[in-house]
Amino acid sequence: MQEKIITTNNLTLYRNDTAIFSNISIDILKSQITNIYGHNGSGKTSLLKILVGITEATNGEVKNVSGDVELFNRTIYIGHRYGLKNNLSINENLMYLQSFYGVNQQQLIDKAIDIYGMTKYKNTLVKYLSHGQQKRASLMKTLITNSKLWIIDEPYSALDDEAIEMFNETAKNHLNNNGSLIITNHKPITNIFPNVINFKLN
Amino acid sequence: MNQFYSIITKEITLAARSGYELFFPILYLFIIIIFFNISISYAGKNIILELIPLMIWIACLLICVLNIESIFKDDYDDGSLEIFVIHNENLEIDILAKIFSHWLLSNFPVVLIAPFLSLLLGLDYDTSIVLFLTLLIGTPTMSLLGSIAAALTISLKKNKILTSIVVLPLYIPILIFGTSAVNNSFFNMDYFSELILMGIIFFIFLLVTPIACSKALRISLD
Query: How does DSSP assign A120-152, residue by residue?
Result: GGTTSBGGGS-HHHHHHHHHGGGGSS--SEEEE
Ramachandran class of A21: left when φ > 0, alpha when ψ lies in -120 to 50, beta otherwise: beta
> Would you call A83 and B14 a contact, using CB atoms and an 8 Å cutoff?
no
pLDDT at residue B210 in the model: 95
Beta carbons within 8 Å of A43's beta carbon, 6+ residues apart = A13, A20, A21, A201
Task: Give the residue, B118 or A67, on which the prediction is more confident.
Answer: B118
Tell if the CB–CB gap between A100 and B83 is shorter than 8 Å: yes
Question: Mutate which of B18, B21, B22, B80 to disrupt the A interface (most A C-beta within 10 Å)?
Answer: B80
pTM score: 0.92
CA atoms of B16 and A201, how far apart (whole Å): 45
Q: Which helix (H) or strand (E) covers residue A11, if one does?
A: strand A4-15
CA pair distance B191, A19, nearest whole angstrom: 60
Percentage of chain A modeled with pLDDT above 90: 42
pLDDT digits (tens, 9 = 90+) for B89-106: 889 999 999 999 999 999
Nearest CA in chain A to B19: A87
The enclosing H or E element of B1 equals none
pLDDT in tens, A125-148: 999 999 999 999 999 999 998 888
User: Is pLDDT of A97 > 70?
Assistant: yes
Per-residue pLDDT of B166-183, as tens digits, reads 899 999 999 999 999 999
What do you get for the CA distance between the two ends of chain A, in Å?
27
Rounded CA-CA distance B199/B161 in Å is 28
Identify the pLDDT of residue A170.
Answer: 93
Say if residue A63's pLDDT is above 90. Answer: no
* Span A90-100, average pLDDT: 91
Q: Quick one: pLDDT band at residue A1, thresholds 50, 70, 90?
A: low
Q: Which ipTM value was assigned to this complex?
A: 0.88
Give the integer Cα–Cα distance in Å for A32 and B89. Answer: 27
Pairing mode of beta strands A4-15, A76-78: unpaired
In whole angstroms, what is the distance from residue B155 CA to residue B144 CA? 19
Out of B10, B74, B221, the one facing A96 most closely (by C-beta) is: B10
CB-based contact A82 B83, cutoff 8 Å: no
